[in-house]
Structure 1
């Protein structure tokens, strides 16, 4: 069997050499035996399966992390000391956290499965000289693939022959318009969007037909390479996860330091080792905010539900907070900033021009700029007529919904006519078609012949130079002027077509487009911007978020859209293409500076998108990526927060992303960003609350130990306070109301931890205030009221619990103590009532009474508990008032 070799750059290889290298006969294709041998050698034309994580793996991962290890160690020590109730209580906390994390993380990771769904279509190949329909998985290297309109290309290949073949490659390249295919060899370094002699797996055929020799299957196709990048793209820990982990490490050092100091001092005093270990265990439990992960999860889930009401589906809870911290957003153009449909945008007639907006459903045409008189000219009416007659598309309304059939450009011409107040059906009835000269890559024009009022009417549209060449009555100067106008329109990002007509009383010959035509004018087509994008981008700019367009489309088109939606401002009109981008490891500092200054990138490959995201992430930015195509999937996964378009987006993009916009509205991203910022602020508040409460427990235990006044809190009591009386107020803080002022501020520095220096100082201050109040009550109770050690312990437990509940009012940000976001939050009041009820139950329910070592109390002790709870709030408000007056 001859050796089969596939070239590295198949788009550069002449077709005869390629057929020889693949040992393929273009007339008969492969034989059945040869196809079977190659199938055995190269394998099926399918993407490699990726083994998804098992439920057990995801569950086990919930038991990793610094806080988990510390709690597990505390449980082990409790069992060793015979404190089985404490040990089981800690284990229960670990299980609750693990189950919560497992349920929220167990969502399908179906990126590869979604890609494989594109493989299930049948394919037609030439085998033994006959066209046979086979499963796309059976297509192999060297097969001659036969495609026509409506097919999904089964493999990568080089074209052997074409007939008006057009392919929609938007999912791979981002190019809005279907691509005209030919057999000519493109330049060496042509990106995918410019390799017009190639077919790519997974792209739909929109028009025409053709044959191609298969050069790549399965993982070796461009689709397969993207699948590999989706699989290999690493997703690092989210900023919230990283910051909570860093916070946990700080708590470990605090715990280890205090426990070690306490043990050293205790041993120096020759105290009982058992008591020292018990106190050290209490310190360990006090240092860890057991409810932090649960509260963070619920706070994020609440944000997720609020976003769902705004048509934003969040697949990973931490993505809500991540988006709030995002300061760079990479966005695709097609379908994200634009509507992913072609519309008539510019009319260029010999004596007038105008930029228009078409609304076919409303039957309305609006002139945005240019000459209002354009719609009054005869050329305007002829332009509409020729656009309808020289047309094979159909546009109709089915059950109240528009139905488009045919080439998008031709559909847009019909919509243009309807918006202008004309009926395409009536025009076609008045001008019955008698003949057609189809568009071809050779003539680059289309012509139709019609009868009308006893005479004949010829309608022509096509490339400007070809149409102008046939308008023989034009002077050379006029012909050049009109051609220059078409070139300028193309530079401005418009796809242009020229229109002409001829009326005659005698029936023309077969080549009816070759006669002297009358030039009408030019139409520029554009994928129109989404109307809500401009205010959304303005909001992003006000919020200090840098938005960057990254598309596979033409540079001029990309720059035009960027200008229309105000993504760029005067002075920012720079666009870089894939050819301008070096690999990441080859960039100089000057290259990086230029790249970071650019806001528009065109003709960019999926691999280059990954490099650009990586570069910004290396700068310390939190990067969001929006997209809708297969080509966006790797970048959606690589980014800190991937945002897919749900309506127009591919299944691959939706299942790879962290968030999906159900309405495809870029404005929804702004809502998500606002919610993300609120979530982070809420998380910061409840972390501040939890840490100050936990630190107060540490101070109470430590100071009591150093003062040698006994152990005022038992480990199980501390655990109860952390899980019950701390968690519910923290949770209420986590679901606080929105703060619109947050979107008028720049994004927080992604390098800034959840708790900055000021926050830590406030934590210590709050903790010291509560500690002084509670230990003061303990001292009064044991020294002045004659309470026993157990009764003093009882007093401390309730005093600290009540002080921590009242502490929630210290976290207001407004000037008024009585009217602020805390007092307006109904969940705060619900949480306080619930916690007070639970505390009452611990006193009256025998089981809790026994487990927590609760002792009977007198009325005097109750007043002492209330005083210890309110005193820290009063102290904090006095100090804050003094600080405010001093400013």
Structure 2
């Protein structure tokens, strides 16, 4: 191919690429070209190496402090302890590596679920294939909303406009046509060229692929872009900051302990060992790793429900969402549109389709379907149409209303392939939000036929009327049908002997045919989902381009508003709104149904609610929704009927377009954040209990109840496994019955810190109490006291997990006791603790001594007493 493709005509490029523009490539041709030119995908970003992931586990404040502790141990001559701390560093690094690598693999699996197909001509049929399989010479079939999958030259275009901001930075869409561009035309002025990664905002086109993958303009840019640095999510940053604060506080406490001990004249080496134990006790091993796993596990759980979350940080934001802007069609309704009512000047009928797809009149004049007017209406509906009933994959393709029109025409006795053969299309005026009509020009035996469909207000204005009253009557009929929950389209036509100009719709008045009412019943699961939203403090607002009366009717049916609700605002109403006016603000906040709203107004509404301090979720499926999806805190794209542009702009993709999936996702977002909060409280209270045990024992001069190695072991075993189990819990009914969390609040609030200190104090009192009792009353040696304290604190921390259930639930039946991972974690930890006693090597490393029955009784008592004490206080003082 010559380098200046924009200078060539469409015909020249077709010859160069040896493709039949009417039939496209054959299967074998496409396969051969794919093997020759490779897949249509950009060069993959260089993956972070396995070694880089492993080394990152070693680059943290936690590891530095542990390394310093190991060096200090070697310096003091405690070789075993030094090697043990190095082993802990190694175990933590390997654990973090395995978990992060698994999370990365899971993310890659999720990305494969979120692919964008493209439509091409293959063997004369329109086929929808993965964009990676598109090759040079393929004929692309493109419509508004499509993300262009490859570089191409236009063969024909109808009112085609393309958003090329991704390449050129120009925000205004470029108007395209098939005429060759000037020789020195820059990228933004090449009006006959289409580029990979740009988006069609209006019209439709047929184009021939000239470049794929790295050979596209987007590919050339991609080769210049260096791999971006890995950035932490907001939650990871909060957790890292929290860990650093705790570490520095503890280092200060350890230093103070050391200084006070030196002033009191205590042995320096013992003071250093105790201070070292304090520093080790403070380190929250695995906190960031557990948080990442909790988020990634939540994403996988959502993926099983056909909810694809594209960013980890989006899971966190989901939990705080308190306003959802939702579309009507396909989200609150089934998006299974069928022709339900037909209105002609001669009469009205309501119809249904039987099992053989034949028309049956359910109400009205049974003779009307046999009339010429009825047949003409069906014919115009089939002509002003871009849908297909049978594709190569054997499925319907196109706008649901247009598919319904083809099924209606077929049932009315019209042979659709024969109709298109006898009335070939010459031109088209694509539907746009400005004109609100679609028109096609067809060649006929006696001249030309113009077929028009669209909103009744616009179509009727183009028609000839004996009296304006007749036109208003038709608009009134449309209003009545809309009040019954029907979506309406008006139809008109004109026949002429002379070929019309490019402005064939406005050239002369049309003949009005009538109205068709489409029924799109509400989804059954929407009503309970909306009820759940109301209970969770989430405000749901319908924002649609549909008719106000239809929108309000559906809102009543699904329970979005009450049966007597009358308030509905339109885009026209919003034009006169002043958001600084208190009266307009109140009206805006009171309204839950907005109709005939344009994209700019959606942005204004989202901005309005965000300024009120709300976290806004926005559902969308079209190109015009993309700005709003980006503007919202959580953009939610529809996977079934959504455009690639919408999916690209969104944070979340619903593969089944179900509103109940949004509610489920929000619920899971809350569960995930609550899980993270719980395991942080668990880790902090356990670590703080270790700090308190060592500190208070030192200040009270009752000996050293825990050795540094014992603290390390407790942190690795009894902290991490239960924390992981808490992080992947999936049940918590309470969360969707309370208002959403304020996003400005930190991970841990003041009441959480109070609870952490309280939990730690209770465990400390229990463990230090049995240590003192064992060494001073039962005559246990210092080493035996260490052993008892080690097992007692381990058991107390393991059982402490049962204190973290939510609300006023029963102790034996809550989201903690129903979490199977909790029981597995406890069982695993108990097995490991038993192994430390019976495996000589572990027993020697941890300096453990044999235990008698009295010691076992002390261990069990110290482990159980904190749970009992906390539960008694919880019963007496439930508000805390």
TM-score computed with the length of structure 1 as normaliser: 0.69
Alpha-carbon distance in structure 1 between the residues aligned to 2:824 and 2:10? 80
Alpha-carbon distance in structure 2 between the residues aligned to 1:636 and 1:591? 28
Match of 1:385 in 2: 375
- After superposition, the C-alpha distances for 1:395-422 in whole angstroms (9 at most, x for unaligned) are 5467995434x8876543222346xx64
What is the SS of the residue equivalent to 2:780? coil
Listed as ranges, the gaps of 5+ residues in structure 2 are 16-39, 123-133, 167-172, 178-190, 431-437
Match of 1:85 in 2: 83
The one of 854, 865, 871 equivalent to 1:860 is 854
Alpha carbons 1:336, 1:628 under 8 Å: kept = no
State the Cα distance separating 1:779 from its structure 2 match.
1.0
What is the SS of the residue equivalent to 1:868? helix
Aligned pair 1:721/2:714, yes or no? yes
- Give the alignment of 1:415-814 within 5 angstroms: 415-417=407-409, 422-425=412-415, 475-481=466-472, 496-499=489-492, 520-523=513-516, 536-547=529-540, 555=545, 564-565=554-555, 570-571=566-567, 573-575=569-571, 597=589, 602-604=597-599, 621-624=614-617, 626-627=619-620, 641=634, 643-649=636-642, 659-736=652-729, 738-813=731-806, 814=808
- Give the alignment of 1:6-21 within 5 angstroms: none
What is the SS of the residue equivalent to 2:396? strand
- After superposition, the C-alpha distances for 1:563-589 in whole angstroms (9 at most, x for unaligned) are 73566775452548999999xxxx989
- Give the alignment of 1:37-436 within 5 angstroms: 54-55=48-49, 62-63=57-58, 67=62, 70-81=65-76, 82=79, 83-91=81-89, 92-105=91-104, 107=107, 165=158, 201=195, 238=233, 240-314=235-309, 316=311, 319-329=314-324, 344=339, 347-350=342-345, 363=357, 373-374=363-364, 376=366, 378=368, 382=372, 384-390=374-380, 391-392=382-383, 396=389, 401-404=394-397, 411-417=403-409, 422-425=412-415
What is the SS of the residue equivalent to 1:522? strand
- After superposition, the C-alpha distances for 1:484-527 in whole angstroms (9 at most, x for unaligned) are 5599799999674324799xxxxx97899999998542236799
State the Cα distance separating 1:702 from its structure 2 match.
0.3
Match of 2:863 in 1: 869
Alpha carbons 2:635, 2:651 under 8 Å: kept = yes
Match of 1:130 in 2: none
Alpha carbons 1:121, 1:152 under 8 Å: kept = no
What is the SS of the residue equivalent to 1:711? coil
Alpha carbons 2:147, 2:644 under 8 Å: kept = no
- After superposition, the C-alpha distances for 1:346-367 in whole angstroms (9 at most, x for unaligned) are 644337668x797798849899
Q: 1:538 to 1:348 in 2, by over 3 A?
A: farther
Match of 1:834 in 2: 828
Point out the more displaced range, 852-861 or 75-84.
Answer: 75-84
Listed as ranges, the gaps of 5+ residues in structure 1 are 5-21, 33-45, 123-135, 140-145, 174-178, 184-196, 503-507
Match of 1:882 in 2: 876
- After superposition, the C-alpha distances for 1:653-690 in whole angstroms (9 at most, x for unaligned) are 65776544332323212112222222333333333322
Alpha carbons 2:836, 2:843 under 8 Å: kept = yes
Alpha carbons 1:374, 1:380 under 8 Å: kept = no
What is the SS of the residue equivalent to 2:516? strand
State the Cα distance separating 1:833 from its structure 2 match.
3.0
State the Cα distance separating 1:26 from its structure 2 match.
9.6
Q: 1:651 to 1:575 in 2, by over 3 A?
A: closer
Q: 1:239 to 1:744 in 2, by over 3 A?
A: farther
What is the SS of the residue equivalent to 2:861? helix
State the Cα distance separating 1:88 from its structure 2 match.
0.9
Match of 1:848 in 2: 842
Q: 1:574 to 1:385 in 2, by over 3 A?
A: closer
State the Cα distance separating 1:867 from its structure 2 match.
1.8
- After superposition, the C-alpha distances for 1:796-815 in whole angstroms (9 at most, x for unaligned) are 11121122223233334445
What is the SS of the residue equivalent to 1:664? coil
Q: 1:879 to 1:547 in 2, by over 3 A?
A: closer
Point out the more displaced range, 66-75 or 775-784.
Answer: 66-75
Q: 1:850 to 1:518 in 2, by over 3 A?
A: closer
State the Cα distance separating 1:721 from its structure 2 match.
0.9
Alpha-carbon distance in structure 1 between the residues aligned to 2:805 and 2:135? 63
TM-score computed with the length of structure 2 as normaliser: 0.69
Match of 1:142 in 2: none
Q: 1:543 to 1:349 in 2, by over 3 A?
A: farther
Alpha carbons 1:501, 1:520 under 8 Å: kept = no
Alpha-carbon distance in structure 1 between the residues aligned to 2:508 and 2:630? 57
What is the SS of the residue equivalent to 1:753? coil
State the Cα distance separating 1:879 from its structure 2 match.
2.5
Alpha-carbon distance in structure 2 between the residues aligned to 1:274 and 1:286? 18
CA RMSD in angstroms comes to 6.4
Q: 1:353 to 1:253 in 2, by over 3 A?
A: farther
State the Cα distance separating 1:843 from its structure 2 match.
0.8
Q: 1:237 to 1:526 in 2, by over 3 A?
A: farther
Q: 1:315 to 1:851 in 2, by over 3 A?
A: farther
Q: 1:867 to 1:232 in 2, by over 3 A?
A: closer
Alpha carbons 2:281, 2:687 under 8 Å: kept = yes
State the Cα distance separating 1:118 from its structure 2 match.
8.3
Alpha-carbon distance in structure 1 between the residues aligned to 2:391 and 2:42? 41
Match of 1:131 in 2: none
Alpha-carbon distance in structure 2 between the residues aligned to 1:120 and 1:298? 41
| Number of residue equivalences | 783
Alpha-carbon distance in structure 1 between the residues aligned to 2:819 and 2:8? 76
State the Cα distance separating 1:697 from its structure 2 match.
0.9
Alpha carbons 2:325, 2:618 under 8 Å: kept = yes
Point out the more displaced range, 646-655 or 482-491.
Answer: 482-491
Alpha carbons 2:319, 2:741 under 8 Å: kept = no
Point out the more displaced range, 724-733 or 395-404.
Answer: 395-404
Q: 1:162 to 1:525 in 2, by over 3 A?
A: farther
Alpha carbons 1:491, 1:556 under 8 Å: kept = no
Alpha-carbon distance in structure 1 between the residues aligned to 2:135 and 2:582? 47
Alpha-carbon distance in structure 2 between the residues aligned to 1:244 and 1:826? 26
Alpha carbons 1:577, 1:602 under 8 Å: kept = no
Alpha-carbon distance in structure 2 between the residues aligned to 1:876 and 1:332? 48
